[in-house]
Amino acid sequence: MRTVVAFSGGKDSTALALGLMERSEKFDLLFTATGDELPELEEHIAKVSAFTGAQVIRPPAPTLFELIDKFEALPNWRQRWCTRMIKILPCIAWVKSQPEPVTLCVGLRADEESRKGLYDELVIPRYPLREWGMRIDDVRSACNKAGLTPPARTDCALCYGQQLREWWSLWKRHPDRFQQGVELEEKYGHTFRSPSRDTWPASLKELRAQFKAGRRPKGLKEEGADEACRVCRW
C-alpha cells in the first residue's frame, strides 16, 4: 500500500508530513500546482521534501490561467471551479491511475471535527492528525520545531478568497503578480474581489491606486504569519 500526503505547503500538511516521518512511515508528497503559486511556497515545498526525504509528485492538471482563458471568466465565490478542477480532480485521477492501492493522507486536525474532507465521496482518505490528536497549537509547534514554518501565503497569488490585507501584501511583495490580476480583470470585464465585500474598490486597478495613496487595510499581519487557502482549505 502506497502512502501519499495531499500536500498544500500549509501548516497542517507540513505537520502531517513531519508526523509520518517521525513514525518512520514511508510516503510521498502529492502537490497539485495551479500555476499561480508564489515563489516562497515553492521554496517551502523543496525544504519539506529535503527534510523528510519524501518525493514530490505533481500530477498533470490544467493551470488557473488555462481555465480562465477556456471559460473566459475569473473564478469567484459563486463559481468555485478552480478548487475542484485544478486541485481535487487531478489528485483523485492520479490516485486512481496507480497500479497499487494508495492511501491518501489529508491534513484535517483533531480540533476540526466538523470539517469533512474534500475527497470523502471519491476516495477513502486517512486523517493522521486526528489519529494523533493534533490540534492547531500542536501543528504550529511541530512546524516551528523542525524549522519548517510555512510561508505567509500558500494559496494562489490571485485567489478571490483572500482578504484585503493579503491583496495589500501581494501588491507590496509581488507587484508583477498584482499587475497580472489587473490585466486579467480588464480583459474579462469583472473582478476577483466581490463588489459588496467591503468599502474598498473591487477592481484591483482602483485598489492599487488607494494603496499607492497611502491607505492601508486594517489587521496587517507580521511577516511570516501563515494564511492557508480559505477556498481549497487543504
53, 175 Cβ separation under 8 angstroms: no
| Region 114-130 average pLDDT | 76
Phi-psi region of 53 (alpha: psi -120 to 50; beta: other; left: phi over 0): left
Give the SS3 label for residue 105: strand
Residue with cell 484591483: 204
**How many residues appear in the chain?**
234
Q: What is the pLDDT of residues 47-104, one digit of tens each?
A: 999 999 999 999 999 999 999 999 999 998 888 899 889 998 999 899 989 999 899 9
pLDDT surpasses 70 at 228: no
Domains of the chain and CATH, by start: 2-145 (3.40.50.620), 154-229 (no CATH)
37, 47 Cβ separation under 8 angstroms: no
The residue among 220 and 194 whose pLDDT is bigger is 194
Percent of the chain with pLDDT over 90: 76
Residue type, 217: P
Percent of the chain with pLDDT over 70: 91
Count Cβ atoms below 10 Å from residue 224 Cβ, excluding itself.
Answer: 9
Q: What is the pLDDT of residues 137-171, one digit of tens each?
A: 999 999 999 999 999 889 999 999 999 999 999 99
pLDDT of residue 79: 82
Q: Compute the distance between CA of residue 129 and CA of residue 13 in angstroms, rounded to an integer.
A: 9
pLDDT of residue 120: 52
Q: Compute the distance between CA of residue 141 and CA of residue 11 in angstroms, rounded to an integer.
A: 10
Cβ partners under 8 Å of residue 55, min gap 6 = 28, 29, 49
Please, which pLDDT band fits residue 122 given cuts at 50, 70 and 90? Answer: low
pLDDT of residue 113: 81
| Region 33-39 average pLDDT | 96
CA–CA–CA angle 153, 155, 156 (5° rounding):
110
In whole angstroms, how large is the CA radius of gyration of the chain? 18
Please, which pLDDT band fits residue 226 given cuts at 50, 70 and 90? Answer: very low
| Region 175-192 average pLDDT | 96
Cβ partners under 8 Å of residue 233, min gap 6 = 115, 118
Q: Compute the distance between CA of residue 141 and CA of residue 74 in angstroms, rounded to an integer.
A: 37
31, 56 Cβ separation under 8 angstroms: yes
Looking at residue 190, the DSSP 8-state letter turns out to be: S
Kindly tell me the burial class for residue 55, based on how many C-beta atoms sit within 10 Å of its own C-beta (0-12, 13-18, 19 or more): exposed
pLDDT of residue 234: 46
Please, which pLDDT band fits residue 223 given cuts at 50, 70 and 90? Answer: very low
Q: Whole-model pTM above 0.75? A: yes
Q: Compute the distance between CA of residue 103 and CA of residue 93 in angstroms, rounded to an integer.
A: 14
Q: Compute the distance between CA of residue 170 and CA of residue 184 in angstroms, rounded to an integer.
A: 16
pLDDT of residue 197: 76
Average pLDDT of the chain is: 90
pLDDT surpasses 80 at 222: no
Q: C-alpha cell of 70?
A: 477556456
